[in-house]
Amino acid sequence: MSPALPALVTPELLHTTLEASVLPVVVLDATTALATHGDLEPYTAAPLRDAYLEAHVPGAAFVDVTHELSDTAADELFTLPSSEALAAAFGDVGVGDDTHVVVYDNVGNAWATRVWWLLRWLGHDAVSVFDGGLGAWQAAGLPVASGGEDDAAVRATLRTLTPRVRPELLATLPDVERLSAGDAPGVLVNALDPETFRGEQAVCPYPRRGRIPGSVSVPLFELLDLSTGRLLPVAGLRERLQDGGVLGAERAVTYCGGGIAATLPAFAAFVVDGTEVAVYDGSLSEWTADERRPVDIG
């Protein structure tokens, strides 16, 4: 299905589209919170369903990225499920082959871009990110809804999403090992903050500090207007992605801690000029778990 909306949707365009009711659109709220604990202890994640119940874009359903859209039996959080399981999970929240999905979160867009990446990996290109989430919606003076009726209504209609997997959007551990060693062309991009990139963060939620050797730093927050939570204009995105070597690379692979933040620069590159970026799903959680794999500090 060809996209009926652009990859990045403004509040005004989303509101107009929903009011017109001419497209089969499903809006998903994917807001999730991460919490760190002791040093070298894994972080935990919690879906913010209570916040959704308090206020959300009218008609939106809530999707739990940590459980519904992840392989909960895997060693790492947020691990990509099988294509069949993921497609069924999306079907349960009203996403079918003829559905255009608009996804948002209220904590910086990365959870929304994770859902965008999951759907495109499945081969479903009819998906957009609503830029800035509920804050942008309210700043535009648009009304909000509360309660669970919208979620229940969306889930009442089960749909079928046919997987057409695009393997080039997923970077495997062997792919990353080759990139890191210089045995394959491309650029390996760390999307975390500079302190974590250098291995100097106060609390490390991974088995070891450091970055994958050979990687460059493109912090996801540098792609955002932190005053609004929205992405920078295209010119600003292009400048930062070009500085990181993402645009024009033979292959670009992004990573972070668990495959969430990494999807934001991948999405930004797609918005700029359609560049397709692969995401290393295991990211530092997988890489640093084996002491035989090297890390760089500093």
Sign of CA dihedral 15, 264, 261, 238: negative
Say which residue the tokens 């930062």 belong to.
240
Residue 134's nearest CA partner among 63, 225, 57 is: 57
Q: What are the respective helix, strand and coil percentages of the chain, to the nearest 5? A: 35, 15, 50
Please tell me the distance from the alpha carbon of residue 264 to that of residue 279, in angstroms, as a whole number: 10
d(CA 96, CA 253): 28
Structure tokens given for 46: 């919690």
Active site annotation includes 256: yes
60 DSSP assignment: P
- Tokens 């535009």 correspond to 140
Q: Which of 8, 61, 69, 256 is catalytic?
A: 256
The one-character DSSP state at 53 is: H
Extract the runs of DSSP E, i.e. beta strands, from 105-241: 127-130, 170-171, 187-190, 216-217, 224-225, 230-231
Catalytic residues: 256
